[in-house]
Amino acid sequence: MSENRRPVALVSGGSRGIGRAVVRQLAADGYDVAFCYQSNREAAEKVAAEVLETGARVLARQVNVADAAQVREFVNGVERDLGEIAALVTVAGIIRDRPVAMMADEDWQAVIDVNLGGVYNVCRASIRKMMRRRGGAIVTVSSVAGITGSPGQTNYSASKAGIIGFTKALAKEVGPYGIRVNTLAPGFIETDMLNDLPAGLAVGVQQRTALGRLGQAEEIAPVVTFLLSERASYLTGQVVTVDGGLTF
């Protein structure tokens, strides 16, 4: 890598919401950025154009993170076209909300496969490369639902709790290789996903939050990039909750 080349960051689920904010923040902080998205090409192209305006290089690909082969192809393409991955952020996630008594098997499995399986696939495809280079930083995005549980979201809560356990175990595995792994647990953030929640839920959450409001994706992204940076060089295996005072 040339001396003036930016470090490379990879973000799963980077076209909307928290992922979009993270991609933009990484570019502003001096990274070249690769991101994948599920289906919204128009949104992805808009984010890519925003990254290019910062002077960073960008690579956007449509990838099903639940498909290990697609993820491996994406990760290999990033390293080939942009360079060695120094920072990894897993944001991609879906919701299929319904009480357990009414939940379809496919809705349970889809959420587990994307939210938890996707984190495994992205990290699995990247981690050996990081280990060989003996360095790198990973941030997985969980949720307060993975800490406290959320009624009507047993599949989502289980997937997000699984991410926390996965992150803690991975941090212990790869710490000796100089790789740090932390997880971020956002509270209720104003994104498209919030619009899919039951009517009135957001209002109730806002009333229970110490700061009295919902969060913005742009308030999450700087915490992610801090965790990736050398300023957090002695921080690994941690769950950092950013929820406006909802759960303390």
- Catalytic residues, by residue number, are 156
What is the Cα Rg of the chain in Å? 17
Strands 85-90 and 8-12: parallel
Pull the structure tokens for residue 135: 């360095």
> Residue 35: CA atoms inside 13 Å, Cβ hemisphere, count?
38
83 residue type, one letter? G
| Beta bridge pairs of residue 186 | 242
**What are residue 241's DSSP bridge partners?**
185
User: Does residue 215 sit in helix, strand or coil?
Assistant: strand
For the record, the structure tokens of 166 come out as 């996965």
What b/e string do you get for 76-103 counting C-beta neighbours within 10 Å, with b at 16 or more? Answer: eebeeebbbbbbbbbbbbbbbbeeeeeb
Strand order in the sheet with 58-62: 58-62, 32-37, 8-12, 85-90, 136-141, 179-186, 239-242
Distance CA 106, CA 215 (A): 31
